[in-house]
Structure 1
Amino acid sequence: MKIVIIGAGEVGFHIAKALHQANDIIIIDQSEQACERADQLDVQVIQGNGADVSILNTVLDDADLLAAVTGSDEVNIVACMASKLLVKDSRHVNTVARVSNPDYIDKPIAERPQIGIDTMICPELTLASEVAEILAIPYAIGAEYFAEGKVEMMEFSIAEDNKLIGQNLQELNLANCCIVSAVFRDAQVIIPRGQDTIQENDHIVVIGKPAAMKEVRDMFGEKAGKHSDVMIIGGGIVGFYLAKLVSMGEFNLKIIEANKARSVQIAEELPDTLVLNGDGTDINLLKDEGVGDMDVVIAVTNSDEKNLLCALIAKHLGAKKVIARADRSDYVSLFEMVGIDSAVSPRQTTVNEVLKLTMDQGIETVTTIEGEKAEIVEYTASKKSKIVGKPLKKVKFPSGSIVSMVVHNGNTVVPRGDYVIEEGDRVVVFALQSANTKVEKLFK
């Protein structure tokens, strides 16, 4: 595909990084520094304004996709609108706009075809939704659904006090409709076998039928109390949207926001939530508000460094679980290295959505995990798929991949070697990046 990416910041760079090997990529950005970074990839780089019609005219010929992902909502919207007007047959150009202002979007992902935007993504709202999903689950650091909710993926972090340390995976006695798909250990990605042993700080990916995942959640950590105490530091777009989601559940919630006017606004819109105007790095304030007794503390200000400091202070004072927002991708692993239970990034949502638009027909969902080390992809098997009609043990699956789940006629199963995939089956595959291309060929 020919893909035009407007914005070479964190989002644009990582979209290009994920796609440049198999696609023709053009990146446009005004920043000289961002352009120099993008030059590290095998892509065409243009320094300039991505909403400039004269520049767009030179790059849109035969383009299949335009992803406008700068830090300016207006630039992204104008670029998409202009692209639709400039291309004679606009149906052949998919447009994606990254938008953060809640005046433009009120849900994580929306469609605005009437103004020339096929997909509008708000990474901040999606991030808040993802954090809300895993909020009350001890040791869970990621969650995702596939096959219209019939398959659930959860990623767990093994803390030093976890009772599973030292056990073999086969000793977990998971339900027949659940499977451990991967273990992330330091820099390693392990496709697990039954005799593999669980170690401290492992990140374990479990995929299964949602009804059975409740037992899995309890297995990987103590069951969360009915009323969990939650503190959110930062009342911006992420913090406010997250607070709205959390306030719908059975949580005792506190919000700390540094800006007084913003604090008043949040308090008016969430009258049943305690909103404190103060600095989240103020140790005395955190002590007075009982941060050490919190089940979860979430730092989601607009500063990565402040989020790290707030989370570390909360952890030091006794908070059971701390989550920190990290906009810079290279900070995610660093945050977790120094003691943050989960570092979450709004960047990944936009990357995932763009990846889906570049995939072949038959791919329903794609989720990257552990900083793009691997992907979980949902395929729909067609009549022509090479994987159809033969036992899995006779399919030459590439090293670094595993069929985790299959949904057949509405039933969710963990396939064994004798399982035969049929046309129309929805197949959830875990794969390292190196194996993705070969896996895709099996479904063509």
Structure 2
Amino acid sequence: MKIVIIGAGEVGYHIAKALYQTNDVVIVDQNEEACARADELDVHVIHGNGANVSILHEALENAGLLVAVTGSDEVNIVACMASKLTVHDATKLKTVARVSNPDYIDKPVAKRPKIGIDIMVCPELTLASEVAEILAIPSAIDAELFADGKVEMMEFVVPSDHKIVGKQMQDLHLANCCIVSALFRDAEVIIPHGGDVIESNDHIVVIGKPAAMKEVRDLFGEKTGKRSKVMIIGGGVVGFYLAKMVANSELNGQFDLKIIESDKDRSLEIAEELPDVLVLNGDGTDINLLKEEGISEMDVVISVTNSDEKNLLCALLAKQLGVKKVIARSDRSDYVSLFEMVGVDSAVSPRQATVNEVLKLTFGQGIESITTIEGEKAEIVEYTASKKSKIVGKPLKNVKFPSGAIISMVVHNGNTVVPRGEYVIKEGDRVVVFCLQSANAEVERLFK
């Protein structure tokens, strides 16, 4: 596929990096440094305004996808609208726009085909939604739902004093509708077998039926009946929507929320919008303020300012002052693993939401959702099996499945099952696959 990317910043660059080896990629940007960085990839770079019709006309010849991810919502929207008007057959061109202003979008992913935008993605809202899911499961550092909520993924860290340290996988005795899909140990990714031994600080990824995951939560010490104390540092789009999601959902009774925001006017706005949330005007790096507000008693501290460096500093301060779990926003993808390496429990990136939506479009039919975990070390992909899929109609034990992947769950006619060797995948089944990036292409071929 020929793909045109408007914007060579952090998001655009990483989309190009993920796609250039198997697609014809064109990048358009006005910034010379960004163009020079993109030029290091094997892509065609155009220096100019991505909303310029003449530039679009040149770039879009035979293109199947346009992705507008500049730092300006308006440029992204205009680029998508102009692209549909520029090409000969607008039905053959898919458009994706990254939009952050809540005046344009009120949910993480929306469709606006009437104005020429097939997919509109709000990374900040997606990030707020992701963090809200992590908050809903106090003992987890990551959580995601698949197959319309019929499959749940949770990632836990094994404390050094936990009772499962030193045990083999087969001794966990999880419910029949749960499976351990992966272990992350330092830089190593392990697709576990029964004899593998669990070590302290392992990151365990469990996938299962939501009703059966309570047992897993109990195993990792989730407490019930107690309101969790949560502090959000940064009242921007992410911090505000995270607080709003929690305050206006069934989670409301589970949390005592505090927001620290450095801008006085913004603090007043949030306080008016969210009267049940305590809003403090101050600096999240002010140790005296943090101590006065009882940070050592917090269950979770989430730092989501617009500065990666400040988020890291706030998170590390919180950890040093005794906070059990700290979550930090990182806009730069190369910081995610660094954050977690130095002590942040979970580093979350708004960039990945846009990348995942674009990947779904380029992978073609059958892909329902993609979640990247552990800083792009692996992915969980949800497929819908079609009549033409090579994996359909024969027992899994007879399918040449790549060693770097595992089918974790299958949803058939609304029923969730952990497939064994004798299981036969049928047309229409929703299949959740854990795979290393090295195995992606092979898995994809099985579902085409």
TM-score, normalised via structure 1 length: 0.97
Match of 2:32 in 1: 32
SS at match of 2:148: coil
2:370 to 344, 358, 366: 366
1:430 to 425, 431, 434: 434
The 2-side partners of 1:158 and 1:441 are apart by 35
2:312 counterpart letter in structure 1: L
Match of 1:108 in 2: 108
Instruction: Say if 1:155 and 1:204, in contact at 8 Å, map to a contact too.
Output: yes
Instruction: Say if 1:137 and 1:223, in contact at 8 Å, map to a contact too.
Output: no
Match of 1:315 in 2: 319
Match of 1:334 in 2: 338
Match of 1:266 in 2: 270
1:355 counterpart letter in structure 2: L
Unpaired runs of at least 5, structure 1: none
Match of 2:140 in 1: 140
Match of 1:8 in 2: 8
Per-residue deviation, 1:201: 2.4
The 2-side partners of 1:48 and 1:159 are apart by 51
Per-residue deviation, 1:225: 4.8
The 1-side partners of 2:185 and 2:233 are apart by 30
SS at match of 1:389: coil
Match of 2:75 in 1: 75
Report Cα offsets for 1:213-247 as digits up to 9, x if no partner: 12212212332553110000000000000011122
The 1-side partners of 2:33 and 2:139 are apart by 38
Instruction: Say if 1:150 and 1:407, in contact at 8 Å, map to a contact too.
Output: yes
4+ runs deviating over 3 angstroms: 159-163
The 1-side partners of 2:270 and 2:397 are apart by 56
SS at match of 1:232: strand
RMSD value over aligned CA atoms?
1.3
SS at match of 2:216: helix
Instruction: Say if 1:137 and 1:224, in contact at 8 Å, map to a contact too.
Output: no
Q: Indicate the percent of aligned positions where both proteins have the same amino acid.
A: 78
Match of 1:166 in 2: 166
Match of 1:63 in 2: 63
The 2-side partners of 1:321 and 1:52 are apart by 46
Instruction: Say if 2:139 and 2:222, in contact at 8 Å, map to a contact too.
Output: no
Matched, 1:394 2:413: no
Per-residue deviation, 1:383: 2.1
Mapping of residues 369-388 of structure 1, within 5 Å: 369-388=373-392
2:293 counterpart letter in structure 1: E
Report Cα offsets for 1:51-108 as digits up to 9, x if no partner: 1111111011111110101111111111111101101211111111101111111111
Match of 2:407 in 1: 403
Instruction: Say if 2:111 and 2:117, in contact at 8 Å, map to a contact too.
Output: yes
Match of 2:124 in 1: 124
1:372 counterpart letter in structure 2: E
Instruction: Say if 1:138 and 1:220, in contact at 8 Å, map to a contact too.
Output: no
Instruction: Say if 1:401 and 1:429, in contact at 8 Å, map to a contact too.
Output: yes
Report Cα offsets for 1:286-330 as digits up to 9, x if no partner: 000000000000000000111111111111111111111111111
Per-residue deviation, 1:376: 1.3
Q: 1:118 to 1:295 in 2, by over 3 A?
A: same
Report Cα offsets for 1:351-375 as digits up to 9, x if no partner: 1111111122122222222222222
Match of 2:420 in 1: 416
The 2-side partners of 1:12 and 1:163 are apart by 44
Per-residue deviation, 1:408: 1.4
Per-residue deviation, 1:174: 0.8
2:393 counterpart letter in structure 1: G
Match of 1:282 in 2: 286
Instruction: Say if 1:7 and 1:29, in contact at 8 Å, map to a contact too.
Output: yes
The 2-side partners of 1:271 and 1:62 are apart by 53
TM-score, normalised via structure 2 length: 0.96
How many residue pairs end up in the alignment? 444
SS at match of 1:140: coil
Report Cα offsets for 1:360-417 as digits up to 9, x if no partner: 2122222222222222111222222221221111111112011111111211111111
